[in-house]
Structure 1
């Protein structure tokens, strides 16, 4: 370890495979240089993309091992380099912040560009703040790409998933009538958020028609199932107002809007990154709820990922330090 660095603990994937390949190890963290800040992490959000990075979905390049994980975090600034200015102004020691997008956020201390740091609203817990911006940015992209506006009727598939919960709330906030697909256990939550729940499965299109006999203006697919694609095509006249973040193969064939990191999809950086400050403002004001399903200690990351990969209560799985 060099004199200009210090040790901390971080999660790494030591191999490709199941969550058991994840270990909490000591790593060397440099002091922040120009335009960078050091953050003592209080919480880190977990996301399905974290799992795909080490389970082989995105390849098994041995050169990437050991692999750091985590795109988003919240914490306290402990050191700043020269010219450390974030999206909303200078960053100072002691600031409570949200960090997105970064890499290696599953750690006790990280050094990140100041451009990734925004003030944490005081009304949000550390866990809520760490779980907002990835799903919130993705949801913002879906709502913008489908041109959701006041008076629209919008169908959200997977409405109680991470992105779905955010898309529902953002569409409601925009003045749309939202119909959300979910299992029966999620219906009360969707009603609380201002949406009208409908159970997925056989007959879905007819159930949506019964709720919206005048038609559906836009559809947001967060699950990628054939049902979600087929029902969207059946109910929405304009294919450009159907967006998917998962059904990239069929979506490309059918001419619907592809969003995210899949082949041929629009990554939407020009929408997602500028949305960070707005999302934090909305959440801080209580207009956007961030649900936390469970919190795990950093050392229990394998258990956290097993929960993330299984059926769990609506909301984020968060690691806390």
Structure 2
């Protein structure tokens, strides 16, 4: 039996699409209404029968009794569940879900004799290059003196729990995806990028980011779990792309005009401070934080050669993929 957490999210949903119907799969969920997103994903791919084969178990990764029920008879675990937020006000829930939740998962995996555990981390948990523009690899050291966001800190902390379990005898692999694009979950992750372009994104920055298709993330996870690889982590990106190019490509797919105004560092510095003030006055979530403003101009490239070489893997060409995804987004 395979256990998947985060099965109502982008990565977990597409992972279930990849696994269901070929092997017994159990998926953990918190809100039953969210299962409908994954059901629609299966319907879109003509795999309704496969969806019905999934065993859904109500629970939460911070609820140990519920996890004990979910882990019964499980041999392999894909831990995709996480809280993603760049709002400093969410620090407590980020720590609770990402660090404590992952600790619960690996502790249960050890207690129930799980054979192998795959943890979905993020490039946000990779290290800090010594110089601006330096290449980031799996071996780049994490610098605790750098001012990281709460999300970065909690994803790094989650990895520490996985490595601790590995030292205690659990077979593990970790994937560190970049910005993940995929269909079916337009309100999550990269869906915010698609949404902004659809609404008419006017601004861009000159920073870069690592991007990847969700199908590649899922395929790599499955191959790593089926391999003899143990105690390793991998940067999972198809390519590094500047934000202007990314937004222009999506705009073409939507038949819209691309952004034409560069948001300067000064503009972003003023912007995140105004956003902070508005969040206090209006009691709303932050839309632009200091870390978001800083990352918008980061040009540190990520190196994917480790996963490419070890699995002889060829990533999807992201330009046509993004255009097709953008066109589909308009119809969702």
Shared fold, TM over 0.5: no
More helix by share: 2
With the length of structure 1 as denominator, give the TM-score of the two structures: 0.32
With the length of structure 2 as denominator, give the TM-score of the two structures: 0.31
